Structure 1
Amino acid sequence: MNTTIASLATPEGVGGLAVIRISGPDAYFVAQNLCGKEKIKPRYALYTPLCSPVGLEIDSGVLTFFQAPHSYTGEDVVELSCHGGVVVSTELLEACYSFGCVSAQPGEFTRRAFLNGKMDLCQAEAVADVIMSESSAGKEASYKILSGKFSTLILKLKQSLFVLVSTLEGELDFTEDEITPTPTKEKRALVLNVLSQTKDVLSTYSTGKMLQHGALIALVGKPNVGKSSLLNAILSEERTIVSETPGTTRDAVEVPFLINNFPVRLVDTAGIRRSDDAVEDLGMGFTRQYIENADLVLKVIDLSLPRDAVEKEIKSFNCSKPVIYVLNKSDLLNNGSKKAWGSNGPGVVTTSALRGDGVDDLKETIYNKLVSHSSLSGGLVLTTSRHKLSLDSVASSLERALFIIDSNDSPEILSVELRDAVSHLDEILGLTSVDDILDNIFSKFCIGK
Structure 2
Amino acid sequence: MYNNDTIAALATPPGIGALAIIRISGENLAPLFQKLTKNKAVKDRFATFSSIYCPNTHDVLDSGLIVYFKAPKSFTGEDLIEINCHGGEYISKSILESLYAFNVRPANPGEFSFRAFMNGKIDLIQAEAISELISSKSSLAVKNNLNSVNGYVSNYIDNLKNKLINLLSLIEHELDFTEEELESTRYELLINKLIEINDGISKIANTSAMGKMLSSGARVVLLGPPNAGKSSLFNAILGFDRAIVSEISGTTRDVVESWFELKGIPVCLIDTAGYWDSDNYLESMGIERTKQQIELADIILFVDDKYPEETFQNLNLDINNSKIIFINSKSDLEEKTINSNKNSLLISSKKNEGIDTLLNMLSTKLSSVFGAHSDFDPIIISKRQRNLLLEAYSISQQAIVLAKNNIETDILASTLHGLNDTLSEIIGNVSSSDVVNNIFSEFCVGK
Q: Distance in 1 between matches of 2:334 and 2:342?
A: 15
Q: Distance in 1 between matches of 2:408 and 2:180?
A: 17
Q: Provide the residue aligned with 2:357 in structure 1.
A: 361
SS in 2 for 1:332: coil
Q: Distance in 2 between matches of 1:433 and 1:363?
A: 46
Is 1:420 equivalent to 2:418 in the alignment? yes
SS in 1 for 2:67: strand
Structure 1 residue 287 displacement after superposition: 2.0
> 2:133, 2:146 within 8 Å by CA — same for their partners in 1?
yes
Q: Deviations over 1:8-51 (max 9, x none)?
A: 11121122221111100142222122122334121121222211
Q: Deviations over 1:76-125 (max 9, x none)?
A: 11111122212221111122112211001111111100000011110111
> 1:198, 1:395 within 8 Å by CA — same for their partners in 2?
yes
SS in 1 for 2:332: helix
Structure 1 residue 218 displacement after superposition: 0.9
- Aligned pairs for 1:248-287 (under 5 A) are 248-287=251-290
Structure 1 residue 177 displacement after superposition: 5.9
Q: Distance in 1 between matches of 2:288 and 2:312?
A: 21
Q: Provide the residue aligned with 2:32 in structure 1.
A: 30
Q: Provide the residue aligned with 1:97 in structure 2.
A: 100
Alignment-mate amino acid for residue 332 of structure 2: D
The percentage of counterpart residues that share the same residue type is 38
Distance 1:310 1:213, change over 3 A: closer
Query: Would you say how many aligned residue pairs link Structure 1 and Structure 2?
Result: 439
- Greater shift, 228-237 or 399-408, is seen at 399-408
Is 1:319 equivalent to 2:315 in the alignment? no
Distance 1:403 1:286, change over 3 A: farther
Structure 1 residue 288 displacement after superposition: 2.3
2:223 to 210, 213, 220: 220
Q: Provide the residue aligned with 1:235 in structure 2.
A: 238
Q: Structure 1: state its 5+ residue gaps.
A: none
1:51 to 50, 53, 76: 53
Structure 1 residue 385 displacement after superposition: 1.6
SS in 1 for 2:83: strand
Q: Deviations over 1:286-329 (max 9, x none)?
A: 22222222111111122xx3xxx445336666522521111111
Alignment-mate amino acid for residue 226 of structure 1: G
- Aligned pairs for 1:163-174 (under 5 A) are 163-174=166-177
Q: Distance in 1 between matches of 2:276 and 2:182?
A: 75
- Greater shift, 190-199 or 270-279, is seen at 270-279
Q: Provide the residue aligned with 1:40 in structure 2.
A: 42
SS in 1 for 2:302: strand
SS in 1 for 2:378: coil
Q: Distance in 2 between matches of 1:293 and 1:407?
A: 44
1:401 to 394, 399, 404: 399
Q: Distance in 1 between matches of 2:33 and 2:393?
A: 50
Distance 1:398 1:11, change over 3 A: same
> 1:4, 1:26 within 8 Å by CA — same for their partners in 2?
no
2:89 to 86, 90, 111: 86
Q: Distance in 1 between matches of 2:426 and 2:226?
A: 48
Is 1:151 equivalent to 2:149 in the alignment? no
Distance 1:310 1:100, change over 3 A: closer
- Aligned pairs for 1:295-444 (under 5 A) are 295-302=298-305, 305=306, 309-313=307-311, 318-320=318-320, 322-332=323-333, 344-345=342-343, 348-371=344-367, 374-444=372-442
> 1:214, 1:265 within 8 Å by CA — same for their partners in 2?
yes
Structure 1 residue 284 displacement after superposition: 2.2
Q: Deviations over 1:131-178 (max 9, x none)?
A: 211211100000101001111110110111122223323333332367
Q: Structure 2: state its 5+ residue gaps.
A: none
Distance 1:110 1:253, change over 3 A: same
Alignment-mate amino acid for residue 154 of structure 1: I
Q: Distance in 1 between matches of 2:287 and 2:443?
A: 37
Structure 1 residue 433 displacement after superposition: 4.6
Q: Distance in 2 between matches of 1:176 and 1:40?
A: 66
Q: Distance in 2 between matches of 1:217 and 1:378?
A: 26
SS in 1 for 2:304: strand
Q: Deviations over 1:34-72 (max 9, x none)?
A: 122334121121222211221211122222111111111
2:4 to 2, 5, 10: 2
Q: Distance in 2 between matches of 1:399 and 1:333?
A: 62
Structure 1 residue 377 displacement after superposition: 3.8
Distance 1:12 1:275, change over 3 A: same
> 1:30, 1:100 within 8 Å by CA — same for their partners in 2?
no
Alignment-mate amino acid for residue 387 of structure 1: Q
Structure 1 residue 393 displacement after superposition: 1.0
- Greater shift, 203-212 or 147-156, is seen at 203-212
Q: Deviations over 1:202-247 (max 9, x none)?
A: 2222222111111001111122211111111111222222233333
Q: Distance in 1 between matches of 2:198 and 2:108?
A: 39
SS in 1 for 2:65: strand
> 1:329, 1:352 within 8 Å by CA — same for their partners in 2?
yes
Structure 1 residue 195 displacement after superposition: 1.6
Structure 1 residue 263 displacement after superposition: 0.7
Q: Distance in 1 between matches of 2:149 and 2:431?
A: 18
Q: Distance in 2 between matches of 1:180 and 1:310?
A: 63
Note the aligned Cα RMSD (angstroms). Answer: 2.2
Distance 1:185 1:179, change over 3 A: closer
Distance 1:170 1:278, change over 3 A: farther
Alignment-mate amino acid for residue 206 of structure 1: A
Q: Distance in 1 between matches of 2:158 and 2:103?
A: 40
